[in-house]
Amino acid sequence: MVELDSIKTSVWPERVTIMDVGPRDGLQNEPYILPTEKKIRLIQGLVDAGIKWIEATSFVHPKAVPQMADAAEVVTGLPRRGDVRYFALIPNDKGYDRALQAGIKHLVLVLSATESMNQKNLNMSVAQSMAIAERLLARARGDDVMVRVDISVAFVCAYEGLTDPNQVIAQTNELLAIGAHQVCLADTTGRANPQQIAELFSALRRTHTADRLAAHFHNTFGMAVANTVAALQQGVMFFDSSIGGLGGCPYSPGSTGNTPTEDLVYLLDQMGVETGIALEKLCDVSDFIKTFSGKLPPSAFYRATRVKQAS
């Protein structure tokens, strides 16, 4: 008889870093504009729960994303903690300048893997976005700024269908070579499957160490947790998620929210992977979200615990 605990079926990272993108990616697709003080309260709740990387806001044109028009005010009100990294998303040079002026030293530069999505989201070609990335990454080295680059629709594009993995590999290689601290592959449409995830990250891990790569999954078809496991099997140890499952992409029709942070932490807890995040405190934050969203958070863990307790 074989002892089950003597079999090691997979090698997981011992610890995973989670970036909660709820205050930015989560709120940008909501129909309401959350007041600045409530955004700061939301971020404080995430800090209290133990989250050390938070995408707090974005410096984009307020006409394009009015929910982020108060980016500078949000940065001013952020809870000051030496062990917490606050990130801001930027699309271009102007966003970079505004973020630095506000005092942000950790940035997320976004571009797309496909021409159609890049035109829809950024109104420029992929080549133009890559040129901006090269310019800003050079500036960041002199400014002592950390820049992560997010590649949207890295697996499936709402406009072009399956994304060519060779294009994503080439982009990732180039971005890391020219100074990106990390590249995050985003399943923006939520249409990717675990095989796609495993194959693309496996190919990248042949060249790059695990700390240079991150994953950002949407849960449109309920695949976010399965895709997370596939990425973990390739040694990925940085993941994005959104408190309560908030979010979506205004330029990707049909896309719903990100991996709920509660569900991701529960998964990792059950697998013995450390996060340093307190589940019950995360649910407290989702309780707060429910007060202004008027909706039951789509997080499976939240519904199975808080909703059951209330019934």
Give the active site residues. 249
Q: Which CB contacts under 8 angstroms, 24+ apart, belong to 202-209?
A: 202/234, 203/165, 203/169, 204/169, 204/172, 205/234, 205/235, 207/173, 208/172, 208/176
| Beta-ladder partners of 121 | none
Instruction: Give, in order, the Cα–Cα distances in Å from 264 to each of 86, 158, 228, 274, 279.
Output: 20, 25, 8, 11, 10
The upper half-sphere exposure of residue 120, i.e. CA atoms within 13 Å in the direction of its Cβ, equals 17
Which amino acid, residue 307? V
Instruction: Give, in order, the Cα–Cα distances in Å from 7 to each of 2, 12, 154, 232.
Output: 8, 14, 34, 18
DSSP code at position 127: H
Q: Show the tokens assigned to 133.
A: 């990335």
Q: Do the bridges between strand 85-90 and strand 53-58 make them parallel or antiparallel, or are there none, so unpaired?
A: parallel
